[in-house]
Amino acid sequence: MAVLSGLEPKKVFEYFEILCSVPHGSGNTKQISDLCVRLARELGLRCRQDEVNNVVIWKDASPGFEDAAPVILQGHIDMVCVKTDGCPKDMAAEGLDLVTDGTWVWADRTSLGGDDGIAVAMILAILADDSLPHPPLEAVFTVDEEVGMDGAFALDCSDLKGKKLVNLDSEEEGVFTVSCAGGVRLDCLLPVETAPLDGEIPYAVTLSGLLGGHSGAEIDKGRASANQTMVRTLYSAAERIPGLRLNDIRGGRFDNVICSVNQAVIAVPADQTENFTSFIREFDAILKNEYAGCDDGITLDCQPSGPIETALTPDSTVGVLRTLLAVPQGVQAMNVDFPGLVQTSLNMGVMCLEPDGLHFSLSIRSCIASQKAMLLQRVKAILTLGGGSWTERGNYPGWQYARQSALREDILAAYKAVTGKDGRIEATHGGLECGLFLEKIPGLDAVSAGPELHDIHSPAERLSVASTQRVYQMVREFLAHSKS
Ligand SMILES: [Zn+2]
């Protein structure tokens, strides 16, 4: 114990070490939630734990701040558990082995959960400090942010009075996030018609060597989706070679990842095999030219395949490919407030042909709710034209940029007072819990900040000690000036 006892702010790292002593991966939060309740009780503070393990703690205003507007301080208590190959730790049952060199804090061979344990530790340290002048405080610790924000979804906000939310789940000091994308997932199914082969020759077609990437962070890089590009390839092949039949097509495992490999099996009319292989060669050159500079490794290849017995009929093949080709992919609109920020996008992350039809899944994102709805409407219209069906899941609200925000000004002033530097306002095409709070608390003003954390969600994750000091000071400075 007490590996971090030499670090400042003392109380913050003391709490951080206590939090890290219990396992707290997403979905395994009962223990850390109970720990937060115990710590609140030790401080004599009122608190509430709900059935999903979210914890809310209240602290009355310090003398002279009784009339100040309450402030919500928020972070998530779950972490992404990853470890190096060969690391024997059972992260579902054991706490972390913390290490520090005085400059950085990390965990031995596992992720640190600085995302977002350091937020919880800072908030607990503020709650524990009776010397700090502050408005009424509402500390909100959510669970399972990392696996779909389940805690924020479930949280009852009706007993929260604050209209100012400081979320401490950002990872770059001096960058203040003020907008995020909302999202929805769509699982789609297109009906198909299968028939025995009629003398066609099977070929395996592979599209590989693509970079892929995260559909929030990397959708603006111009990279190809292997799913969409394979569809385009095969549709173009069928235009040149009538009678082409699809036997299989599959790519991607996650709807929020840009697909990097797609594999298909095609039945080619026996007198067209040479035409087909030369088409693939030509199309490979077209793709290499098109994606030079952003997906240089893109490679389209075909090989004779093992025997197959059935395939989609030629009509069903073209019908399915036509519908898929009409579904847009990638960036749909850029944001005007933040040059370079993607406002609206979608990604066809997963595709596979099964006996009941062609399944594919899309992740749609926008920071503007009505644009997310518009894109959803467009995809559904295309599916309807193609005779397809769909189900929606994981619908979460975005956080549209507020042109006026008193909270943002106050936090920036506090940052400047502590560091002498101007903060930077940014927006993200990823998701944040703030969107859910904005939906539940009308009139909420919000900002997201945090200390410098590198390589989150990996065993290389590390937290800057000096940055933690500055961000902690910034929050204290902000609270000490929140008298109105
Ligand atoms: Zn986080």
Same domain, 25 and 171: yes
Same domain, 377 and 421: no
The two structure tokens encoding residue 25: 């991966």
Distance (angstroms) between ligand 1 centre and the Cα of 117 equals 9
Distance (angstroms) between ligand 1 centre and the Cα of 40 equals 22
Q: Are 63 and 71 in contact (CB under 8 A)?
A: no
| pTM greater than the 0.85 cutoff | no
φ, ψ for residue 166, nearest 5 deg: -105, 105
3-state secondary structure of 13: helix
Distance (angstroms) between ligand 1 centre and the Cα of 146 equals 6
Distance (angstroms) between ligand 1 centre and the Cα of 190 equals 36
Same domain, 154 and 212: no
Same domain, 358 and 243: yes
Residue 157 inside a domain? The answer is yes
CA distance 478 to 410: 7
Same domain, 341 and 265: yes
Helix, strand, coil % over all residues of the chain, rounded to 5: 30, 30, 40
Active centre residues (catalytic): 78, 145
What pLDDT score does 13 carry? 98
Same domain, 218 and 118: no
Residue 4 inside a domain? The answer is no
Closest to 379 (Cα-Cα) out of 433, 331, 424, 327: 327
Same domain, 389 and 431: no
Could you say which of 377, 396, 415 is where a domain stops? 396
Same domain, 246 and 358: yes
CA distances to 3, 24, 31 from 88, rounded to whole Å, are 21, 17, 21
Distance (angstroms) between ligand 1 centre and the Cα of 115 equals 5
Same domain, 352 and 214: yes
**pLDDT tens sequence for the chain (484 residues):** 589 999 999 999 999 999 999 999 999 999 999 999 999 999 999 999 999 999 999 999 999 999 999 999 999 999 999 999 899 999 999 999 999 999 999 999 999 999 999 999 999 999 999 999 999 999 999 999 988 899 999 999 999 999 999 999 999 999 999 999 999 999 999 999 999 999 999 999 999 999 998 888 889 999 999 999 999 999 999 999 999 999 999 999 888 889 999 999 999 999 999 999 999 999 999 999 999 999 999 999 999 999 999 999 999 999 999 999 999 999 999 999 889 999 999 999 999 999 999 999 999 999 999 999 999 999 999 999 999 999 999 899 999 999 999 999 999 999 999 999 999 999 998 889 999 999 999 999 999 999 999 988 889 999 999 999 999 999 999 999 999 8
Residue 107 inside a domain? The answer is yes
43: domain CATH number is: 3.40.630.10
Q: Are 393 and 190 in contact (CB under 8 A)?
A: no
Residue 2 inside a domain? The answer is no
Could you say which of 396, 421, 451 is where a domain stops? 396
Distance (angstroms) between ligand 1 centre and the Cα of 80 equals 9
Residue 382 inside a domain? The answer is yes
Residue 1 inside a domain? The answer is no
Distance (angstroms) between ligand 1 centre and the Cα of 381 equals 35
Same domain, 358 and 333: yes
Distance (angstroms) between ligand 1 centre and the Cα of 169 equals 5
Residue 49 inside a domain? The answer is yes
Distance (angstroms) between ligand 1 centre and the Cα of 68 equals 29
Same domain, 15 and 150: yes
Distance (angstroms) between ligand 1 centre and the Cα of 168 equals 8
What pLDDT score does 484 carry? 84
Residue 5 inside a domain? The answer is no
Range of the domain at 236: 183-396
206: domain CATH number is: 3.30.70.360
Same domain, 27 and 105: yes
What pLDDT score does 1 carry? 56
Could you say which of 374, 396, 418 is where a domain stops? 396
Distance (angstroms) between ligand 1 centre and the Cα of 125 equals 19
Our count of domains for the chain comes to: 2
